A and B are shown apart, each in its own frame.
Chain A
């Protein structure tokens, strides 16, 4: 095998001029508050349904970015944790009659369990093989969903009841559900932020930058990789569960490889390895799909073109470019 210089995505996205030292430590906090404020009043201007779609996919993309941007692991099968969680949440809410909080919790556990099983297999190989393994395992899960009875094949699970949160708050109103989704999204984002900036996150970055060196320092790289894989798939599961409640629908689309491709695209467009990038990317892609929906298969072509353009010209993503110009770490 040839020696190839290994450059991690974040290294490429790294600004040529390093962030100014000591500049706003509270910057994240301010941005977070600004984002929260915008999202709190957003239903005044935009449809709650559209916003909820956006938030679900943004959380999904943030979970994916945790793995790719900070763990340096490109999973090409992340739709499975999202889609299977949607199925389980839907089944729990509709057939078992559980409340929305328990249903989503079960969805998250599904994501965690699958992430543990698939992640343990995938981390046995590195680089490009890792991506192919995650894709192949995801395809296996897709065929399982195609044949299993509880997923109802091509029909999917339809008319999933949203139920009452903690048995009290009726979620059938879109505006009410929106604030629940928003709360879950913000909690997820804060969680990811904490993970990235914890000692665990620092070790993760060390492994991403130079795995042999991290191992020689005594870190069990495999265990860290598996941990971040499970964290990522769990949060993807939360996003999938929320999505099932929002759309009241869980279908094969959610577990298909095209969905895995979409979440990669969102992260790439927004800027991998940035905290806010995946949110921006999800907003761009969801908006695009919303407006181009009538174009049918052209959406696939446009998505492919964005992939090509991003990889060739725009590897830092939207937030990455902004961060470089402002010399901030976003």
Chain B
């Protein structure tokens, strides 16, 4: 073991790994927020609750229906995404002509309802969700112990993030989406069903949040409050990265997770606040965000 500034390498890499895991969730969540914001022009405050809902649906599938992790990974995003479609059609769609703040307030209210209902039913202490047997155990590397499940979370989220980027930047559907983001009226005039596109985009963004929730379930306990704290950090990530760019959202998610991990090693007291401090500095230096366009 090579000591580095009196910090054992084991601890350094351990925290970096943890930072990368958190970064995976930040990236998945800020990606969903950015996609939704691009087309719907609302900040989806329910995003954290939908992440939590993803974890809960996975837990319910396992405990009530005996459906395991791998199916949950597919089903939970679909179920939560479908609930998102219903929410968008019934509630959010009524607000598009109004000021953005009403979207924020509405989705905040929905988040409170979801969180309160699940806390009534399951309490606030959290419930365990076992790591799937295929991913139990870990690899003993020369410098650290790498649990298989954690490696999987990082790989999975990188794949999903890049897949989403390819979908938006390289496919016809993505081209429609970008066109509708740029100018919904004109896109509609070209015969593209923009309201449908909007609904599907919301469902997709929500599905991403739920997927992050399923990935998180075995690492953190399944808890009604798990979404509330992470969403505020993700808001800061989004302010730092700027919501104009998909890759920007992904990159700043992972990078800030790593920074948080590093802070845990060198100055643990600041680990909860470091992202907010970075946000303040970015606002002073580059108010539009690192990848943002001034709007």
Chain A residues with a Cβ under 8 A of chain B: 1-2, 4-9, 12, 74, 76, 121, 124-125, 127-129, 131-133, 135-137, 139-140, 143-144, 146-147, 257, 261, 264, 268, 296-301, 303-308, 310-312, 315
Majority DSSP secondary structure for residues of B touching A: helix
| B276 and A139 contacting across the interface, CB-CB below 8 Å | yes
Please give the distance in Å from A328's CB to the nearest CB on chain B.
24
* B195 interfacial contact with A, CB 8 Å: no
| B232 and A135 contacting across the interface, CB-CB below 8 Å | yes
Pair count A-B, CB < 8 A: 142
| B104 and A74 contacting across the interface, CB-CB below 8 Å | yes
Seed contacts A8-B99, A296-B120, A304-B110; 4 additional CB < 8 Å A-B pairs: A139-B232, A143-B276, A147-B272, A311-B95
| A312 and B94 contacting across the interface, CB-CB below 8 Å | yes
* B236 interfacial contact with A, CB 8 Å: yes
Pick from A128, A139, A300: contact of B116, CB below 8 A.
A300
A166 to B277, CA, bound (A): 40
Output the nearest chain B residue to A9 by Cβ-Cβ distance.
B99
A183 to B208, CA, bound (A): 52
Please give the distance in Å from B291's CB to the nearest CB on chain A.
14
* B184 interfacial contact with A, CB 8 Å: yes
Known: A2-B181, A308-B91. A121 touches B101 (CB 8 A): no
Say which one of B58-66, B132-140, B155-163, B280-288 lies at the interface with A: B280-288
| B293 and A301 contacting across the interface, CB-CB below 8 Å | no
Known: A2-B181, A2-B184, A4-B41. A144 touches B280 (CB 8 A): no
| A137 and B280 contacting across the interface, CB-CB below 8 Å | yes
Please give the distance in Å from A323's CB to the nearest CB on chain B.
19
Output the nearest chain B residue to A305 by Cβ-Cβ distance.
B113
Majority DSSP secondary structure for residues of A touching B: helix
A264 to B102, CA, bound (A): 11
* B295 interfacial contact with A, CB 8 Å: yes
Please give the distance in Å from B60's CB to the nearest CB on chain A.
18
| A304 and B113 contacting across the interface, CB-CB below 8 Å | yes
Known: A301-B120, A308-B113. A127 touches B100 (CB 8 A): yes
Chain B 174-230 residues near chain A, CB threshold 8 A: 181-184, 228-229
| B102 and A308 contacting across the interface, CB-CB below 8 Å | no
Interchain Cβ contacts under 8 Å between A and B, 18 examples: A1-B295, A121-B283, A121-B284, A124-B283, A124-B284, A127-B100, A132-B238, A296-B120, A299-B116, A300-B115, A301-B117, A303-B109, A304-B108, A304-B112, A304-B115, A311-B102, A311-B105, A315-B98
Cβ contacts under 8 Å, A300 to chain B: 112-113, 115-116, 119
A146 to B283, CA, bound (A): 25
* B279 interfacial contact with A, CB 8 Å: yes
Chain B 80-105 residues near chain A, CB threshold 8 A: 91, 94-95, 97-102, 104-105
**B253-295 interface mask toward A, CB cutoff 8 Å, 1 = contact, 0 = none?**
0000000000000000100110011011001100110000101
Output the nearest chain B residue to A309 by Cβ-Cβ distance.
B109
Output the nearest chain A residue to B124 by Cβ-Cβ distance.
A297
Cβ contacts under 8 Å, A8 to chain B: 99
| A7 and B99 contacting across the interface, CB-CB below 8 Å | yes
Cβ contacts under 8 Å, A310 to chain B: 105, 109
Pick from B94, B98, B112, B236: contact of A301, CB below 8 A.
B112
Pick from A7, A133, A146, A305: contact of B279, CB below 8 A.
A133
Cβ contacts under 8 Å, B236 to chain A: 132, 136, 139
| B276 and A140 contacting across the interface, CB-CB below 8 Å | yes
Known: A74-B101, A136-B276, A301-B116. A1 touches B244 (CB 8 A): yes
Pick from A1, A132, A146, A306: contact of B239, CB below 8 A.
A132
Pick from A121, A144, A307: contact of B105, CB below 8 A.
A307
Pick from A1, A140, A268: contact of B277, CB below 8 A.
A140
Please list the 3 inter-chain residue pairs (A to B) with the smallest Cβ-Cβ separation, ordered nearest first.
A307-B109, A304-B112, A300-B116
A250 to B27, CA, bound (A): 36
Please give the distance in Å from A277's CB to the nearest CB on chain B.
15
| B98 and A7 contacting across the interface, CB-CB below 8 Å | yes
A298 to B116, CA, bound (A): 6
A139 to B273, CA, bound (A): 8
A4 to B182, CA, bound (A): 11
